[in-house]
Amino acid sequence: MAVATAAAALLGGATTATAAPRCAGVTGAPTPVARTGGSIEALAVDPQGRLYLSDNSGAGRVLRIDRPGEAPRVIAAVAAPGGIVVQADGTLLVGTGNGQAALLAALLPRAGVVRVDPATGAVTSVAGKLGMANGVTRDDAGNVYATSLYDGAVDRIAPDGRVRRAWASVPTANGIAVDAARHQLFVTRSLLGAGVSRVSLDPPYRVRPYATAKGLDLLGFPDGLTIDPTGQPVVAAFLAGEVWRVTGGGSVCRLAGGMPQSTSVAFGRGASGFAAGHLYRGGYDGTIYEIPTGT
């Protein structure tokens, strides 16, 4: 992620020597639970507690790990994979084109979203001509949303496959998740006022700031995010090497640190494997960590 490593040079003079405090009630360190040997861009867990990962190393691939401590299995080849979503039927939605070609997204949108069948490895196109598909999510109505870091677009794919480029605009849009309870999206801003925005899913689809990092965290490069059981964003910070929680008042606290190149976070599901009640982090270091949450 070349743009992330350049961020410190771009913003280096704009910070003070402060960073987010440790979240109240959270103790302990992150625990390694799996090693992939790849560059993990995104995570998702299915109802059986199986962890799916998009690996941006080499030509690109989608991996699966059935339980902590096991080695990953290759499910499918996907070029420059980005965000990943588990659908109700067990298939995956995976962003593709999440690379440097997306620098020209505004002029030549080449990214897309594909459907992956984990049982067979079959890959089929869902939509093309997207900006980047770095982050991908799906709402209850079947609309799919994909972010484009370089041009700040949130693209929307309707259930019938129609694409609306730049449906919403969030500067340096990166991670994305649906907050179904409040009928909105949370989207991370990696640069240019690093933090989290929210986008209404009701017309006129207003974009509003939700949280803005302060001090050294302006260089943290918020990347992927998920939503915790209380409805608040949990964010992987790539340059900070941390996982943050955003509170209802829009302030940021740190759940864990010391994990360079953190890209993604996901809560577990089900009763076994990567189970419900546990938070997991992926990154370009290839290691999957369980993150303490204090609950």
59-110 confidence digits (pLDDT tens) = 999 999 999 999 999 999 999 999 999 999 999 999 999 877 666 666 677 8
- Assigned token pair, 135: 């982050």
* pLDDT for res 99: 75
- Three-state secondary structure call for residue 69: coil
13-40 confidence digits (pLDDT tens) = 333 346 899 999 999 999 999 999 999 9
At residue 202's C-alpha, the angle toward residues 197 and 205, to 5°, is 45
* pLDDT for res 12: 42
Least confident residue range of 13-17, 35-39, 54-58, 273-277: 13-17
Least confident residue range of 76-85, 95-104, 133-142, 266-275: 95-104
Domains of the chain (ranges plus CATH)?
Answer: 2-291 (2.120.10.30)
Residue 146: which residues within 8 A CB-CB, separation 6 or more? 82, 83, 95, 111, 113, 130, 131, 132, 133, 134, 135, 136, 154, 155, 157, 176
* pLDDT for res 4: 52
| Omega of the bond leading into 204 within 30 degrees of 0 (cis) | yes
Q: Return the percentage of the chain with pLDDT > 70, whole number.
A: 92
Identity of residue 128: G
Q: Token match 């440790």: residue?
A: 22
- Give the mean pLDDT of 123-141: 96
Q: How far apart are CA 295 and CA 293, in angstroms?
A: 5
- The mean of the pLDDT values for the chain is 92
Q: Is the pLDDT of residue 179 over 80?
A: yes
Q: Token match 């298939």: residue?
A: 91
* pLDDT for res 60: 97
